[in-house]
Each structure stands twice: as C-alpha cells, then as structure tokens.
Structure 1
C-alpha cells in the first residue's frame, strides 16, 4: 500500500508544480486586427493633408465638423473616442513615432498575408509567404498551437472580413472554424440574429469582391462569442485598407470610427460577462502601415518602406496601465504569439519566434 501511495504522490507533484507556475490572471485572449490603419491616424487623428482634399472626400468640408481640430490630441479623440477614453487609460498603446516609440514589421513584403502570418506565427516568412493568393499557410499559427491543446480544443474561433483568412489560418489542417469573406453562420441551432445577419449579408454585398463589410464580421463574431464562449478569438476587420486603396479618405475615417465602436462593444461585453470579466486580455494591432503622402497613402508594400510602421495596443488584467508609451522598446508584430502564450501561462512551441512584449506582461 505504501508503494502505491508514494507512486501517486510522485505522479501528482509535477502536475501541481506545473499548475502553480501560472502567475497571470488572463484565461482568455481576444486578438483584434484592423487592416491598414496607419499609426498616424491612431495617434494624431485626421491627417491635415487629406481631410479636405476634394480628390479624396466626396464633398469638400464634410469631414471638418466631425473629425477636425487643430489639436492632434483632440483630433484622435474625435476619431477614436473609446480608444482614447478607455483603452489608453486602462491599457497601453505602442507605436507613436512622434514620441520616439517604434513598432515595426519584420517581413519585407509589407502587405496583408505576410503581415497576418507574422502576427499569428511569431516570425516572418519572406521565402514562402510572398503574395495574397489563397494558398494554405505552411506555418502553424498560435491559434493552431492552442487548438491542439486539450484545454483549448474547440475553444478557438476566428472571424475576418477578408476571404483569405481560412488559408492564412489553414483551417483544413488546423480544424479551426473561420467565418471570413462571405461565409455565413451555419449549424442546427442558429439564433434569430444569425439568421438575420445571413440574410442581410446576401443582400448587401458591399463594393469589394473578396472583402465583406465589417458590420457582418463584427456581429457574426459577437453572436458566436455569446453562444460558444471561446477562450481565444481572432477578429480581423478589413474596411480601412480597402477604402484607402480606393482613395476614399472620408470612408477610411468613417470605418476607423466604426472600428473603434466595435472595440467598445466587445470590451463592454467582456467586462460584464462572467468568465470573461477580469480574466480576458485584448490585444489590438494592424497588419501593415501605408504611405504618408498623397501619392503613396493608398498603397503599401516593399516599394513604400513606411508600410513597415505599425502599432500595438493591449488591455487586460495582467497588463500595466501605461497609456501612450513614450519610451522606445523596438517592438515587432512577431512578438504577439509569445506574448499571448505567456499571458495564458504557456510556453510558445516555436523557439525561433520573437520574444514576448515585456510591457504587456505583469
């Protein structure tokens, strides 16, 4: 009998020690991306070069009342009120280069698929991720690593406005459900809201063939979160980049303000829902920057070097309330996977991935 007792104690000890090693409060992570939102608008609001340009807005003067103020701090509040009233006060924002704080991409492609691969895997892959084509990602994302763990299996969801996300996440291999592009909510127990979103998406296609309007992405995500209570979620909004490509600065600003409202909606749900309240970290970033002049702002890529310049925000129970970070830590998008794993008390499986963002950790 003593041998059996000693064996059980010896077997249980490593498990208890492993459990005791988790010192973070984070149990859930919501990773939010918004395609092509420049750090310039995030930190300074509407751009004085663009806000009243007749070639970039439908009607001259229409944006001034909504978005313009001579003080950049006030302009950014007009554009993104939740970000600057809540996220910046209770969380942290990195990437204001006017203050000497840099966040960059490591990949040299500087467009969407390589950017999302870097955000989701922890390193660039310029040898294999060289286009936005619908090719299954050969790399394993942080989402797939978590999906393979018993504690997270079936608790990882992804949503995106761009129809390439099922390939970036490689849903065929990972088994992670991805509602992206013009996907609909499916299953035997659809809510009335999901049925309505399905109908409206079929009737309101939007201006782009491969990117749906962000309201569909947001509300599909919110309904699934309420029903399934996932532990890890990716929501990838897309409108700002496509409006920018179309040289519509007015719609670009409107879509940014709407994105900010979606962040508020999501955070308020998290903070009022048992199981998420005080147990959830929100990390927000973008897949690339873009040009800073009238001739280049619509584009991005290796020919526009400043497309490398991005930003990262975070808010959660473990992340110090640093506000607008002014010191330069030289951050990269590739640091996000390790950061998420450490917040969850886990070690990231890819040893070659970038290290975690120390400022986001307790």
Structure 2
C-alpha cells in the first residue's frame, strides 16, 4: 500500500509540474568560442592593454575597462548582467565554483555543436567538414512531435550548421552561410542585397548582423515555437588575434539578445511563454595569453564553457554556485525539458540540468 501511495504522490507531483509549466517556446542561442573568462570577468587586461591584440587600446579601455570584474562584465554584457543574472541563471564561473565542461575530446566546433544539439559526445564527429550529422538532434526529436511539426527552424552564421542539424533528413529549415532568404519581404530583400554585395572577411561565412536581422524577420513572420540562432564572429575574430573586435562582437551579440528578448516580450505568442538558453560550442586558451586565439586538444582548458537560462519556469538564482560539474551534453535534454518533453533517440543523451527549472 505504501508503495502504491508513494507512486501516486510522485505521479501527482509530476502532473502538477507539467500543468504549471508556462514555457511554450524555446530559443537556443550560441556564440562561437566565447570564453567564460570574459562572460564572468569582462575584458582581460593582459589582452586589452596589449597593442598586439587591441589596435585602439585607448578607445577599448574607455568602453570596456573598469576596476572590478563585476563592473567590467556589466560593461561588456549589459543584458546578461542586468537581466539574465537577475531574472534567470548563469553557469560556468569557475572562480565562483561553477564548472561546465565539454564531454567530447576534440574541443572545436562541429563536435561541440553536435554535443549541444544531440546530447551525445560522438567520437565519430572529429572534423568541421560538411558531413550530414548521423545523430538525432533535439530539434529533430521535437520536430517529430505532432505539436511542433513544422514549427522548428534555425538561422546561423556558419555554413556547416545545416549539416549539423541535417537539414536534408529532418526537413528543418536552416538558413546559413550566404544563403539568401527565399520569397523575401522588403526588409529581407535588403538583407539579401547587403549579403550579396558586402564582402565578408570570412569567405563562405557571412557576418553576424545579417544572421540576426534575417532571423528576427523569420521569427516575426513565422512565429516558430523552437528556434536555434547561432553566431560565429567571436570565434573568427579570436582566431585572427583581434581582441578588440572579439570584445566588440561579444558586446554586439549581447545587444542582439537584448533586442530579441524585448521583441519576444512584446508578442502575445511569446510573452511569458518563452525560455531562452544561451551557450558556446567550446572555450579558448588563456596561458600563455597568446593561446586565447586557439582551441582544440592542444590548447589546455578550452573544454571549459558557460551557459545561461532565462524564462518563466527558470528560478531567478543568478550566478550558480555548486560543486557539481555540468556538461555540454546536458543542454539538449534541458531544452526538451523546458517544453515538458523527454528527449530519447538511438544514442545516449545527457540528463537535463535539474536546477534550470522549478
């Protein structure tokens, strides 16, 4: 009898939790190769004051420098620290005892995005080649649920993302690289023209501002319920050794996220019904300082990453402090849990981060 009563109580608690869930939409945002050191400490003095990496040190010091890490991170990421840190949660401040790591052994982009999206550190994914992902991602799983069929989409800067999501197999629309918007409205046509005529410093990869404004137009027109927005230029500028541009781009991404959140809260389909998760595919080096440009297995500590969460079902706990080490492979299940789903497929999936939701 006690066993039956215990089961019934557990079932009632579970059903109550699902009934009270307010999240109906989820947006995942990534910015490639953004270090946790800048997220939690702001501008790095060893790089900001070095003309090798910062061409106009006086300008950047005025814009991003302050005496304390708390002041510096507020300057660099005003939305993260004025909104997410107050209304949501931030993970990965290793100075504060919060650790989040990559599970895969490669520590670069395709393996990282596969781990984020599939919840599985697949050792077969060992390059950035444009190979269609053999793994099921959480987006494919959600898109196969009747309630969400045709309501999942992605816009990305990096032209490999359509292969990571496996657009061909899944049918999930992914606009990336220099792909123009089909059947554009006047604003999208302008963005198509800018993309076509403005030289990109990254070859086959466009600039993040084009990705963002195309993505926002898509959201306004189509009202997707699950969306993946992926930026890339933080990684591009870091590889180029341009710390000033890396900071400016990180600050720009913060502004994009703030603008998107403001828009979402102005729309009845999204206001009070949307959870946003934010993270990166890999970290970067830090010692010696020149290694900040790099990542991969030859770069110590670039398996260290961060994550943010904001939404109606996420308790406002701010900077998380705990001894438990979290992993990149937990993000996919956490995303599914936001919608009251449990992500299952042909491969193992990391468990959800329990503290993200009530």
Does residue 347 of the first structure (1) align with residue 342 of the second (2)? yes
Alpha-carbon distance, 1:19 to partner:
11
Distance 2:61 2:300 in 1: 30
Alpha-carbon distance, 1:46 to partner:
0.3
Does residue 267 of the first structure (1) align with residue 261 of the second (2)? yes
Q: Larger deviation: 343-352 or 207-216? A: 343-352
- Which residue number corresponds to residue 192 of structure 1? 186
- Which residue number corresponds to residue 75 of structure 1? 72
Secondary structure of 2:277's counterpart equals strand
Distance 2:326 2:39 in 1: 17
- Which residue number corresponds to residue 137 of structure 1? 133
Q: Deviations 1:255-310 (Å, cap 9, x if unpaired)? A: 00000000101111111110101110000000000001322110100111311000
In the superposition, relative to structure 1, how do residues 20 and 309 fare at CA in structure 2: closer, same or farther (>3 Å)? closer
Does residue 360 of the first structure (1) align with residue 352 of the second (2)? no
Match of 1:249 among 243, 265, 268: 243
Alpha-carbon distance, 1:146 to partner:
1.2
Structure 1 segment 329-348 matched on structure 2, within 5 A: 329-348=324-343
- Which residue number corresponds to residue 52 of structure 1? 49
Contact kept, 8 Å, 1:23 with 1:345, in 2: the verdict is no
Distance 1:242 1:271 in 2: 31
Secondary structure of 1:283's counterpart equals strand
- Which residue number corresponds to residue 172 of structure 1? 168
Structure 1 segment 105-144 matched on structure 2, within 5 A: 105-126=102-123, 128-144=124-140
Distance 2:64 2:170 in 1: 42
Distance 1:325 1:20 in 2: 23
Distance 1:338 1:60 in 2: 42
Q: Which of structure 1's runs of 4+ aligned residues deviate more than 6 A?
A: 17-20
Does residue 324 of the first structure (1) align with residue 319 of the second (2)? yes
Contact kept, 8 Å, 1:93 with 1:313, in 2: the verdict is yes
Does residue 292 of the first structure (1) align with residue 289 of the second (2)? no
Contact kept, 8 Å, 1:34 with 1:286, in 2: the verdict is yes
Q: State the Cα RMSD in Å.
A: 1.5
- Which residue number corresponds to residue 59 of structure 2? 62
Alpha-carbon distance, 1:239 to partner:
0.6
Secondary structure of 2:355's counterpart equals helix
Gaps (5+ residues) in structure 1?
Answer: 1-16
Secondary structure of 1:159's counterpart equals strand
Structure 1 segment 144-183 matched on structure 2, within 5 A: 144-183=140-179
Match of 1:224 among 218, 221, 230: 218
Q: Deviations 1:155-197 (Å, cap 9, x if unpaired)? A: 001011000011001101010110111111102xx21110110
Alpha-carbon distance, 1:149 to partner:
1.6
Does residue 207 of the first structure (1) align with residue 204 of the second (2)? no
Contact kept, 8 Å, 1:105 with 1:308, in 2: the verdict is yes
Q: Deviations 1:215-245 (Å, cap 9, x if unpaired)? A: 0110010000000000000000011000000
Contact kept, 8 Å, 1:22 with 1:345, in 2: the verdict is no
Distance 1:342 1:177 in 2: 23
- Which residue number corresponds to residue 308 of structure 2? 313
TM-score (ref. length: structure 2) = 0.93
- Which residue number corresponds to residue 84 of structure 1? 81
Structure with max Cα Rg: 1
